[in-house]
Amino acid sequence: MTRSPLLAVEHLTMRFGGLVAVDDVSFTAYDREITAIIGPNGAGKTTVFNCLTGFYPTPVGRLRLTGGRGEFLLERMDGFRIAQKAGVARTFQNIRLFPRMTVLENLIVAQHNVLMRASGYTAAGLLGLRRYRVAEHEALELARSWLDRLGLTAQSDWEAGNLPYGSQRRLEIARAMCTKPVLLCLDEPAAGLNPRESAELRGLLTETRDQHGIGILLIEHDMSVVMGISDHIIVLDYGSMIADGTPSEVRSDPAVIRAYLGEEETEQLPPEVAGDLHQEGRI
Amino acid sequence: MDARALLKDAGLAAFVAFALAFPMVGFQTIDVSGSHGITVVTRFGDVAIAVALVFIGRLALSLLQNRAMRLPILVLSAALAVGLPLLTTSYPVITWLSVIATAVIAVRAAWLVFDIADVVGRDEGNHLRDATAFIGRWFGPVLVVFAVLFPFLPMTSRYILDLGILVLTYVMLGWGLNVVVGLAGLLDLGYVAFYAVGAYSYAIIAQTFGWSFWVCLPLAGLFAAFFGVILGFPVLRLRGDYLAIVTLGFGEIIRIILLNWSSFSGGPNGISGVPRPSFLGFPFTANPPEGTRAFHQLFGLDFAPEHRIVFLYYLILALALVTNIFTLRIRKLPIGRAWEALREDEVACRALGINPTNTKLTAFAIGAMFAGFAGAFFATRQGFISPESFSFLESAVILAIVVLDGMGSQIGVVLAAVLLIGIPEFFRELAQFRMLAFGAAMVGIMIWRPRGLLAHRDPSIHLPKAVGGGA
Ligand SMILES: Nc1ncnc2c1ncn2[C@@H]1O[C@H](COP(=O)(O)OP(=O)(O)OP(=O)(O)O)[C@@H](O)[C@H]1O
Ligand SMILES: [Mg+2]
pLDDT tens-place string over residues A3-60: 888 898 988 998 888 888 888 899 999 988 999 999 888 889 999 999 988 888 777 8
Q: Which of A125, A148, A179 is the last residue of a domain?
A: A179
Q: Which of A152, A179, A206 is the last residue of a domain?
A: A179
Mean pLDDT to the nearest integer, B225-251: 85
A87 contacts A215 by C-beta, under 8 angstroms: no
CB-based contacts of B228, cutoff 8 Å, min separation 6: B194, B361, B364, B365, B366, B367, B368, B369
Taking phi first (over 0 means left), then psi (-120 to 50 degrees means alpha), and beta for anything else, what does residue A265 get? alpha
CB contact (8 A) between residue B344 and residue A99: yes
A233 contacts A246 by C-beta, under 8 angstroms: yes
CB contact (8 A) between residue A137 and residue B330: no
* Count of structural domains within chain A: 2
Are residues A172 and A210 located together in one domain of the fold? no
Q: Please list the residues that pair with A28 across neighbouring strands.
A: A8
Are residues A257 and A208 located together in one domain of the fold? yes
Are residues A257 and A235 located together in one domain of the fold? yes
Burial state string for A244-269 with b = 16 or more CB within 10 A and e = fewer than 16: beebeebeebeebebbeeeeeeeeee
CB contact (8 A) between residue B352 and residue A176: yes
- Please indicate if any CB of chain B lies within 8 Å of the CB of A145: no
- Please indicate if any CB of chain B lies within 8 Å of the CB of A79: yes
DSSP 8-state class, residue A86? I
Are residues A207 and A81 located together in one domain of the fold? yes
Q: Which long-range contacts (CB under 8 A, 24 or more apart) does B425-428 make?
A: B425/B163, B425/B166
A55-59, A101-105, A177-181 — which is least confidently predicted?
A: A55-59
Mean pLDDT to the nearest integer, B133-144: 74
Are residues A239 and A131 located together in one domain of the fold? no
- Please indicate if any CB of chain B lies within 8 Å of the CB of A202: no
Are residues A76 and A195 located together in one domain of the fold? yes
B399 contacts B392 by C-beta, under 8 angstroms: no
The pLDDT of residue A142: 92
> Contacts of residue A92 in chain B, CB cutoff 8 Å?
347-348, 351
Q: What is the Cα–Cα distance from A126 to A133, expressed in whole angstroms?
A: 11
Are residues A199 and A83 located together in one domain of the fold? yes
Interfacial B residues in 330-359 facing A (CB < 8 Å)? 330, 333-335, 337-338, 340-341, 344-345, 347-356
pTM above 0.80, yes or no: no
Mean pLDDT to the nearest integer, B70-77: 79
B298 contacts B311 by C-beta, under 8 angstroms: no
Out of B340, B460, B471, name the one closest to residue A133 (CB). Answer: B471
Task: Compute the distance from residue A278 Cα to the ligand 1 centre, in Å.
Answer: 27
Whole-number average pLDDT of chain A? 85
Higher pLDDT, A272 or A32: A32
Evaluate the CA torsion angle B404, B405, B408, B413 in order and state its sign: negative
The complex's ipTM? Answer: 0.86
Are residues A15 and A78 located together in one domain of the fold? yes
pLDDT digits (tens, 9 = 90+) for B164-174: 999 999 999 99
Q: Give the residue on B whose Cα is nearest the Cα of A141.
A: B468
Are residues A74 and A168 located together in one domain of the fold? no
Query: DSSP labels for B107-143?
Result: HHHHHHHTTHHHHHHGGGGHHHHHHHHHIIIIIHHHH
pLDDT digits (tens, 9 = 90+) for B317-366: 999 999 999 998 898 899 999 999 998 999 999 999 999 988 999 999 99
> Contacts of residue A121 in chain B, CB cutoff 8 Å?
335
Question: With DSSP H G I counted as helix, E B as strand and the rest as coil, what are the percentages for chain B, rounded to 5?
Answer: 75, 5, 25
Q: What is the Cα–Cα distance from A154 to A36, expressed in whole angstroms?
A: 33
The pLDDT of residue B123: 44
Smallest Cα distance from B298 to chain A, Å: 35
Helix B192-209 / helix B392-404 crossing angle, nearest 10 deg: 120
Of the candidates B109, B113, B114, B106, the one whose C-alpha atom is nearest the C-alpha of residue B77 is B106
Task: Compute the C-alpha angle B222/B223/B229, nearest 5°.
Answer: 90
Are residues A185 and A175 located together in one domain of the fold? no
Q: What is the Cα–Cα distance from A235 to A221, expressed in whole angstroms?
A: 11
Pairing of strands A19-30, A34-38: unpaired
Residue of the CA atom closest to atom 28 of ligand 1: A42
A59 contacts A74 by C-beta, under 8 angstroms: no
Mutate to test the interface with B, among A78, A93, A94, A96 (most CBs of B within 10 A): A96
Q: Which of A179, A196, A222 is the last residue of a domain?
A: A179
Domain boundaries, position A223: 1-87+181-283
Are residues A137 and A274 located together in one domain of the fold? no
Are residues A194 and A272 located together in one domain of the fold? yes
Q: What is the Cα–Cα distance from A157 to A151, expressed in whole angstroms?
A: 13
